[in-house]
Structure 1
Amino acid sequence: TLPFARAAHAAACVDHSQMVICGGATGGGSLSSDELYLLDIRNEETSQWMSVPVVRTTPGRRYGHTMIFSKLLLIVFGGNSGQQAGCDIWILDVERSPFQWQEVAELLWESVGPFRVCRDGRVAGMMVFFGGQTAENKSLKDTWGLRQHQDGRWDWVEAPATRSAPPEPRFQHSCIFLDSKLLIVGGRGPEVNKSVLQMNLRVAQAMQSPEISTLLLGHAHAAVLIRGL
């Protein structure tokens, strides 16, 4: 079963040979279904797409959302339903059958700020996101981490303030962690950015990387970590 063509969807690796995708936009104002698809390439000769059966409530159709796989959980956050930006969180335990999405309803969003479409990375068991765009089309530059405690509680933690200036506000950028450094690439803001920026979450210091600052202007692209690069 092949997924339909789409853009602004979310993808996450379940392991080194399996990837899942969900959501996205198909053009002309239409949205993809919220069906979950898995690409299994453990055997290159028989690699294939398959639809993942899910019971009960789903996160709903959306685009511009984020999804990661952490601690046996698929975690979906935010996005836009085509009518408004959202700030909901959904989790799916891949070891519990039958598969079903569960909304994390205990978090209060007054502290985190406005609804947004954002980009994320993963470090130290947290889902970390930087920036995004609000329902009022305002680009953001804050950094937050979503974590789950051993007793099952969820909460948000804001990255500490830095003496140096944070990266410019943006959305449709890419984020990826290299050890404790969050690499933020491109995106859209007041104007399309071309700088590659990194934020060291361990010392909370943001800096530009001039040695790789000659990238072409870009947004809505992807970043992936391959053998440490």
Structure 2
Amino acid sequence: MADSQRSDRAARPSLKTGKPVRSQKIIQLSPSDTRPPDIPEDSELPTAREHAAPTRSHTPGHLSTKSQDRRKKASELALRQRSQSLSQKDSQPESPKSARSPSTHGGRGTHGNGRATPRPNPHPLPPSSSTTPAPPLSHSTSSSSSRPLNLRSTSAIASKPKLEGVPSPTPARVVTPAQRPPRGPHIPFPALPDPKTAPDVQPAPASGMYWSRAPVSGASHTSLRAHTTTLIGSNVYIFGGCDSRSCFNELYVLDADAFYFSSPYVCGDIPVPLRAMTCTAVGKKLVVFGGGDGPAYYNDVYILDTVNFRWSKPKIGGDIHPSKRRAHTACLYRNGIYVFGGGDGVQALNDVWRLDVADTNKMSWKLISAPSSGSTEDKSKPQARGYHTANMVGSKLIIFGGSDGGECFRDVWVFDVETLMFSLVHIPISYPRLSHTATIVGSYLFVIGGHDGVEYSNEVLLLNLVTMVWDKRKIYGQPPKSRGYHGAVLHDSRLVVVGGFDGGEVFGDVQVLELAVHAYYSQISHFSIDV
């Protein structure tokens, strides 16, 4: 009787649900080389990396839809039938067919009449019309082999000319899922700081803006620079980028409400490892263009469907396509993604292209503004540049800063995508910046960090888009370390800053700038740019 009760309890379905748990170890190495701050993206010296073999466990995420009473009856019936079958087998000589263990039939028992009776499944999967098995819940990292180490040019905008007789460097190799390095363990939610050891910061008034470091948890993630951060809903999709050793093509998702990291399983035509590319949200899809790594530059377009996390590489129409590039910008306006500038490894660029994304299955390129020499004598359009920022306000593209590989720019240009005309904004006092971020908040352009031609910065600059005058505001809290090549998005009256690089260290932190209403609200409702 006790054995029967134990068997009955064992046959009942478990009501526990859970998420995939990762138990992996990552060893972070600080860069051993010291580099002077450089205007273009700094060279990286490859170093060895150690990886620990990953382990993971999965807990099914679906519960049976049957009621508890029906489960109990089904399990009791299966136990009685199995007992009858075993008693009949004990009284009869064993035949070759009946000598098989029930486990060889996929966990099914048999009746005396020879019919297979399925064992009650505590976690049945929902029915699917497709015969393709569902992908696992997370990346498969069965291999502990390290990433390929890539030599980098000193600039993603313009590189040194090729020498005769010297072979070209090998382009970056595609990293398959099996070759991805193991990640560290799950990051628990951090404990509250001890008031005795917490940093001493000045109290902030209700109308003041405030810096703080986000208490992140969830999946372990890599420190990144030159990656993309794109907001859809409350999720920040972080793709690609590089650390001090290699380049990545992995996707992380940061919940901007809970600051919880996840690393979803992706499938399809996964892009090669990329940095300094662009990623634009079109509905619930992400459109990635360009980028590269080391000597490799691309002009490919990839699309990620954030509903099923499937990558695709569609064929793009149009008579001509933009040249390979990285360090460019891309902004969405009326079913078109407008791409400006960047560098192809030989020279900086200042052309404008439009990618029609009205139907992501039938996209096409169109040249909007042809490239020019970029000389200072040509005042009709900006000098060629990369690592600038571009933001769309109505039909006008606001372009600020950047570099041509030698000079760090401070100018502000407006490109009207309807009239196809550039206009230079005359600002008495301006600030040189490259590798910064620029985010539209009401009628202000919030510029965070970057490089000013001499050193990296953690300043926050506000460009009033109505008066076209730069402004600085006092910000309370503990500011982040100076950095460039980071990412920033606006969500819920907060600017969320992810990663970055200060010339020596690649960051993996998430910083939050709380925006007080009085800091920017005065012109938030209605405004226009008269340029």
Q: Shorter-chain TM-score: which interval?
A: 0.7 to 0.9
Confirm whether residue 221 of structure 1 aligns to residue 489 of structure 2.
no
Confirm whether residue 129 of structure 1 aligns to residue 399 of structure 2.
yes
Confirm whether residue 191 of structure 1 aligns to residue 458 of structure 2.
no
Could you tell me which residue of structure 1 aligns to residue 299 of structure 2?
34
Whether contact under 8 Å (2:445, 2:464) holds in the other structure is: yes
Amino acid of the residue matched to residue 221 of structure 1?
H
How far is the alpha carbon of 1:107 from its aligned partner? Answer: 8.2
How far is the alpha carbon of 1:73 from its aligned partner? Answer: 0.7
Could you tell me which residue of structure 1 aligns to residue 417 of structure 2?
148
Q: Matched residue of 1:82: which SS? A: coil
Task: Give aligned-pair identity as a percent.
Answer: 24
How far is the alpha carbon of 1:203 from its aligned partner? Answer: 1.9
Whether contact under 8 Å (2:401, 2:432) holds in the other structure is: yes
Confirm whether residue 207 of structure 1 aligns to residue 207 of structure 2.
no
Distance 1:79-1:177 versus aligned 2 partners, 3 A rule = same
Whether contact under 8 Å (1:159, 1:201) holds in the other structure is: no
Confirm whether residue 23 of structure 1 aligns to residue 290 of structure 2.
yes
Could you tell me which residue of structure 2 aligns to residue 11 of structure 1?
279
Please identify runs of 4+ aligned residues in structure 1 that moved more than 4 A.
Answer: 106-109
How far is the alpha carbon of 1:127 from its aligned partner? Answer: 1.4
Structure 2: distance between partners of 1:50 and 1:106: 29
Structure 2: distance between partners of 1:159 and 1:124: 17
Amino acid of the residue matched to residue 408 of structure 2?
S
Whether contact under 8 Å (1:79, 1:87) holds in the other structure is: yes
Could you tell me which residue of structure 2 aligns to residue 180 of structure 1?
443
Distance 1:74-1:191 versus aligned 2 partners, 3 A rule = same
How far is the alpha carbon of 1:106 from its aligned partner? Answer: 6.2
RMSD of the TM alignment (CA)?
Answer: 2.0
Whether contact under 8 Å (1:2, 1:49) holds in the other structure is: yes
How far is the alpha carbon of 1:160 from its aligned partner? Answer: 4.1
Whether contact under 8 Å (1:10, 1:65) holds in the other structure is: yes
Structure 1: distance between partners of 2:272 and 2:371: 33
After superposition, where does 1:28-177 map in structure 2 within 5 Å?
A: 29-31=295-297, 33-41=298-306, 43=307, 46-55=308-317, 56-95=319-358, 98-105=362-369, 110-111=378-379, 112-117=381-386, 118-135=388-405, 137-149=406-418, 153-162=419-428, 165-166=429-430, 168-177=431-440
Where does the alignment leave 5 or more consecutive residues of structure 2 unmatched? 1-268, 495-531
Higher relative contact order, chain-length normalized (CA < 8 Å, sep 6+): 2
Once structures 1 and 2 are overlaid, which stretch shifts more, 78-87 or 98-107?
98-107
Amino acid of the residue matched to residue 86 of structure 1?
L
How far is the alpha carbon of 1:81 from its aligned partner? Answer: 0.5
Amino acid of the residue matched to residue 368 of structure 2?
V
How far is the alpha carbon of 1:40 from its aligned partner? Answer: 1.3
Once structures 1 and 2 are overlaid, which stretch shifts more, 112-121 or 195-204?
112-121
How far is the alpha carbon of 1:205 from its aligned partner? Answer: 2.3
Whether contact under 8 Å (2:434, 2:451) holds in the other structure is: yes
How far is the alpha carbon of 1:181 from its aligned partner? Answer: 0.5
Whether contact under 8 Å (1:35, 1:52) holds in the other structure is: no
TM-score under structure 1 normalisation?
A: 0.86
Amino acid of the residue matched to residue 138 of structure 1?
E
Q: Deviations over 1:183-203 (max 9, x none)?
A: 111112221111011111112
Radius of gyration: which is bigger? 2
How far is the alpha carbon of 1:175 from its aligned partner? Answer: 0.9
Distance 1:9-1:155 versus aligned 2 partners, 3 A rule = same
Distance 1:79-1:107 versus aligned 2 partners, 3 A rule = closer
Q: Matched residue of 2:326: which SS? A: coil
Where does the alignment leave 5 or more consecutive residues of structure 1 unmatched? none
Q: Matched residue of 1:225: which SS? A: strand
How far is the alpha carbon of 1:105 from its aligned partner? Answer: 3.7
How far is the alpha carbon of 1:141 from its aligned partner? Answer: 0.8
Structure 1: distance between partners of 2:467 and 2:397: 18
Whether contact under 8 Å (1:119, 1:129) holds in the other structure is: yes
More strand by percentage: 1
